[in-house]
Structure 1
Amino acid sequence: MILPVPHSVTRVRWRVVFALFAIAAVSFLDRNNISIAATAIQQDFGLSNLQLGAVFSAFVAGYALAQPLAGRVADLFGPTRVIALGIVWWSALTAATALVPGGYAWSMGVLMAVRFLLGLGEAVIFPASNRMVGNWIPASERGLANGIIFAGVGVGAGIAPPLITAILIHADWKSAFYVSAAIGVAMMAFWLMTVRDRPEQMAGVSPGELRLIREGATARAEVAPMGWGAILGNRTLALLALSYFTYGYVAYIFFTWFFKYLSGVRGLDLKSSGIYGMLPFLAMAIASPLGGFLADRLTAAKGARVGRCYTASAALAVAAIFVALATQVADARLATLFLAGGAGALYMSQSAFWTISANLGGRSAGSVSGVMNMANQIGGVVTASLTPWLADSFGWTASFVFAACLSLLGALAWLFINPNDQLDTSLLQDQTDA
């Protein structure tokens, strides 16, 4: 049920959502730049496709391993300062990537180490963001809020192809990384000036907005997160993690191999790849808030099982169909349109993962979403290395069909998820006592 909105309710909470959207956009610009510059980096370092896949995997491995800890740190110390530290970390490592010299026996190892450390820094962004959503956004609005935040993924990844290719044409790949790092530093300043951990700490939040947020809360303020045993033993989280693993496998094809696929396999030149390479990410940016909006409305009208679970399941199934169909067309531009459809359908399900994990986790929303997102990133680790192996062994069609099959598995998992499960029963008791 959607809570009635009192008169004189400010909308400061949506400024916080916009700030999280901007953080997501910059984080994906900084992580996606390497896939755009992949060919130039391969030439500088003398890397094969499999070796480049190992470099991609190094980032995702660091990102994945740090997820549960990142979420727990955000729960304990507050998401604002944790995100600020993450931005400083990843911006420094983005610049450091450009400083690694090529041509030495140890060059690839150093490059992988830098990318691994960069992944550690970026790991805090979405678990901390989910804790921020838990603090600021009533449960009835979380689908749209998460959809807007993850639209930043599409915007950042969509900006990357034209921006990075323009720099590649006029300078070199190292300059592109320096520009990305500078954008990150500017974003940190914006972040610290814009947000606070909780609405009580933020100027301009009206009593009506504060009441709306508190009435729709799923976490009590200033309460320690739950123990890992209760979190890791939860069936709903296990199913979320399984589905998000399959989601991550498909998504990381776009974030790692898609641009190289367009130029190396489909034969598009650098300029055309930069233009058509934007399409899946633009589809993500549009579909993510749309999926969240529809999920909120359907949840209000039909209940959480229809609004969250069935919509996410259907979106992942449609994504599988589009990805598989893309392999069956000869024209590169038409294939890109099919893949863009797959990316958009995939991101229609995005808000459901983060809304359910925030509601499930309550005061441990960062920790719960960190575990879930670790599964997603493990899917990315597998993608980065398995995709080129499948392509070299069986062809690129096999790579995409395998991804489509995994997406169907993720769709199936959603049919068994309990959307009303909550780990933090203390909040339910507080509401009952009141």
Structure 2
Amino acid sequence: MSTPTGSTPSPSTDRPTRTRYWVIVFAVTLAIVQYVDRVAISQAMPDIAAEMQFSDAQKGMIFSAFTLAYALFEIPTGWLGDKLGAKKVLIRVVLWWSFFTAATGWAWSYASMLVTRFLFGAGEAGCFPNLTKALSTWLPKADRTRAQALMWMGARWGGAAAPLLVVAVMAFVSWRTAFMLFAIFGVVWAVIFYLWFRDNPREHPGVNAAELELLKENEHNVAGHGNVPWKKLVSRPAMWLLWAQYFCLSYGWYFYVTWLPTYLRDERGMDIKSNAFMGWLSGLLEGSMSPEMSLKVLAAALAGIPLFFGGFGSLTAGLISGRLISRGANVRNVRRAFGVIGLTGASTLLMASFYIRDPLLAMLSMGLASFSNDLTMPGSWASCMDIGGKYAGTVSGSMNMMGNFGGMAGPIVVGLVLSLTSRDWQLAFAISAVIYFLGAVCWLFIDPVTPLEKEEG
């Protein structure tokens, strides 16, 4: 049974409609778009840097201009979602970052690229806090961890596809035109989302009374809530630990979407073909393209491995943790276990990838590091939903802000290490491994379930 927009459905014995699951579809598709737009620059950077004569330090600053803005605008855009509703904010930020995706192709200097990527990051900052806000309104608590797992799986796989997508597009057009083409994805998403989505499930014509009954616990999340209890938020040890672990996680993870293509091209170079399988694949590709292009395709495929594996990490964590919790396992302990195991594994496997000389095996090790990294993701974001309640947008925004300060620091530190040490990649990897491990330590002490609202009462 469906209801007209704005009406209140009468009680029904019908089976619940499944309209709520379309919100997950919107979240997954936007996550894919967001990551394609975000990751594209890492694959295009060698060509951009060659044209504009950027140094390693300048490349690091350009990568980090995005993450600085992303971090600074997380709380404001999350708060706006709590106050105005996810729909208004999501449409605006998607159109904003789509414009600056296109504008990346219009940059003419180091300064213009720096400003453009900063403004691009300001738009993308509103994505995940407001998707989390929408999910906290449209999904029962039992579905939230799995939904976050699917959303982050989509994000990672979108990022994994981006290197090959960029290479494919740039085989026909310049890197400047490629960014203008990528901007179209977000515009299309925003139009469809505008026509379909409602902040309040009760106002959607596809939701029947039985489905609303499943969502009745979320009704207090629907109305605007701008009066965030900031003092309570910043005085909770659990929040500081949640922020710290996400800083550590993002510091290590941002290497995969910033410096990795440069590392593969400069440090590994033709060594990519030393693996028997990769050498065979290169020979196969050279039957239809130049040796230089075949090397770009191989490097792009390898660069996508960490994000591809990361998608499986998010999915695995969501499925296993959901099953454990449904069987009575303690939510706090399950999330802590995934946090500790995930970040410890990321630390160990990332460092191992540097010492493995076979390029394919090295990237598989790095892929498993990303898999381990993302075992932590669904629990981190589900914790924001449980802790935040009606302030889920603000709480998730605060965590992602701290994470992106880590994401900002990572590319800068790598750039400085390379500039000051004659390109000592080993030191850059070691720093990331240590920071990953510190994130694992944080998870030993996090309370990821106690709601913020209880402290208000």
* Pairing of 1:197-346 with structure 2 (within 5 A): 197-215=199-217, 217=218, 219-222=220-223, 224-225=225-226, 226-267=228-269, 268=272, 269-300=295-326, 301-346=328-373
Does residue 419 of the first structure (1) align with residue 448 of the second (2)? yes
TM norm structure 2: 0.88
Alpha-carbon distance between aligned partners in 2 of 1:276 and 1:7, rounded to the nearest angstrom: 50
Report the counterpart of residue 142 of structure 1 in structure 2. 144
Q: Deviations over 1:394-417 (max 9, x none)?
A: 711221121111111111111111
* Pairing of 1:352-371 with structure 2 (within 5 A): 352-371=379-398
Does residue 154 of the first structure (1) align with residue 156 of the second (2)? yes
Does residue 166 of the first structure (1) align with residue 168 of the second (2)? yes
Alpha-carbon distance between aligned partners in 2 of 1:218 and 1:380, rounded to the nearest angstrom: 35
C-alpha RMSD over aligned residues: 1.8
Report the counterpart of residue 3 of structure 1 in structure 2. none
Aligned residue pair count: 417
Q: Deviations over 1:306-356 (max 9, x none)?
A: 221212221111111111110111111111111111111111110111100
More deviation, 36-45/183-192: 183-192
SS at match of 1:170: coil
> Could you tell me which amino acid in structure 1 is paired with residue 451 of structure 2?
Q
1:218/1:363 contact within 8 Å kept: no
1:391/1:397 contact within 8 Å kept: no
Report the counterpart of residue 21 of structure 1 in structure 2. 28
Alpha-carbon distance between aligned partners in 2 of 1:304 and 1:7, rounded to the nearest angstrom: 32
Q: Deviations over 1:142-161 (max 9, x none)?
A: 11010111112112111211
Alpha-carbon distance between aligned partners in 2 of 1:218 and 1:362, rounded to the nearest angstrom: 11
1:153/1:284 contact within 8 Å kept: no
1:299/1:308 contact within 8 Å kept: no
Report the counterpart of residue 104 of structure 1 in structure 2. none
Q: CA deviation at 1:426?
A: 8.8
SS at match of 1:282: helix
More deviation, 49-58/306-315: 306-315
Alpha-carbon distance between aligned partners in 1 of 2:351 and 2:455, rounded to the nearest angstrom: 45
2:59/2:415 contact within 8 Å kept: no
Report the counterpart of residue 400 of structure 1 in structure 2. 429
Report the counterpart of residue 177 of structure 2 in structure 1. 175
2:105 aligned to 91, 98, 110, which one?
Answer: 98
Q: CA deviation at 1:388?
A: 2.3
Alpha-carbon distance between aligned partners in 1 of 2:429 and 2:248, rounded to the nearest angstrom: 13
> Could you tell me which amino acid in structure 2 is paired with residue 412 of structure 1?
V
Does residue 121 of the first structure (1) align with residue 123 of the second (2)? yes
Q: Evaluate the alpha carbon distance shift between residue 359 and residue 159 of structure 1 in structure 2; reply closer, same or farther with a 3 A threshold.
A: same
Q: Which structure 2 residue ranges, 5 or more long, are not aligned?
A: 1-12, 273-294
Alpha-carbon distance between aligned partners in 2 of 1:288 and 1:54, rounded to the nearest angstrom: 29
Q: Deviations over 1:4-32 (max 9, x none)?
A: xx971222222101111111110111111
Report the counterpart of residue 413 of structure 2 in structure 1. 386
1:11/1:209 contact within 8 Å kept: yes
SS at match of 1:383: helix
2:95 aligned to 63, 68, 88, which one?
Answer: 88
Q: CA deviation at 1:383?
A: 0.7
Alpha-carbon distance between aligned partners in 2 of 1:413 and 1:26, rounded to the nearest angstrom: 31
Does residue 12 of the first structure (1) align with residue 23 of the second (2)? no
Does residue 36 of the first structure (1) align with residue 43 of the second (2)? yes
Alpha-carbon distance between aligned partners in 2 of 1:224 and 1:172, rounded to the nearest angstrom: 46
Q: CA deviation at 1:363?
A: 1.1
Alpha-carbon distance between aligned partners in 2 of 1:328 and 1:124, rounded to the nearest angstrom: 38
1:297/1:307 contact within 8 Å kept: no
Q: CA deviation at 1:169?
A: 2.2
Q: Deviations over 1:90-123 (max 9, x none)?
A: 011111111112xxxxx21111011111111111
2:82/2:224 contact within 8 Å kept: no
Alpha-carbon distance between aligned partners in 1 of 2:318 and 2:88, rounded to the nearest angstrom: 27
Report the counterpart of residue 66 of structure 2 in structure 1. 59
1:155/1:282 contact within 8 Å kept: yes
Q: Evaluate the alpha carbon distance shift between residue 178 and residue 136 of structure 1 in structure 2; reply closer, same or farther with a 3 A threshold.
A: same
> Could you tell me which amino acid in structure 1 is paired with residue 436 of structure 2?
S
SS at match of 1:10: coil
Q: Evaluate the alpha carbon distance shift between residue 220 and residue 126 of structure 1 in structure 2; reply closer, same or farther with a 3 A threshold.
A: closer
> Could you tell me which amino acid in structure 1 is paired with residue 103 of structure 2?
A
Q: CA deviation at 1:197?
A: 1.4
Report the counterpart of residue 3 of structure 2 in structure 1. none
Alpha-carbon distance between aligned partners in 2 of 1:177 and 1:309, rounded to the nearest angstrom: 40
Alpha-carbon distance between aligned partners in 2 of 1:203 and 1:384, rounded to the nearest angstrom: 46
Q: Deviations over 1:37-56 (max 9, x none)?
A: 01011011110111110111
Q: CA deviation at 1:382?
A: 0.3
Alpha-carbon distance between aligned partners in 2 of 1:235 and 1:211, rounded to the nearest angstrom: 35
Alpha-carbon distance between aligned partners in 2 of 1:287 and 1:379, rounded to the nearest angstrom: 21
Q: CA deviation at 1:266?
A: 1.2
Alpha-carbon distance between aligned partners in 2 of 1:219 and 1:312, rounded to the nearest angstrom: 30
SS at match of 1:266: helix
Q: CA deviation at 1:126?
A: 0.7
Report the counterpart of residue 279 of structure 2 in structure 1. none
Q: CA deviation at 1:219?
A: 4.7
1:97/1:114 contact within 8 Å kept: yes
Q: CA deviation at 1:223?
A: 5.3
TM norm structure 1: 0.92
Q: Which structure 1 residue ranges, 5 or more long, are not aligned?
A: 1-5, 102-106, 430-434
Q: CA deviation at 1:425?
A: 2.5
Q: Deviations over 1:58-90 (max 9, x none)?
A: 111111101110110000011112111111100
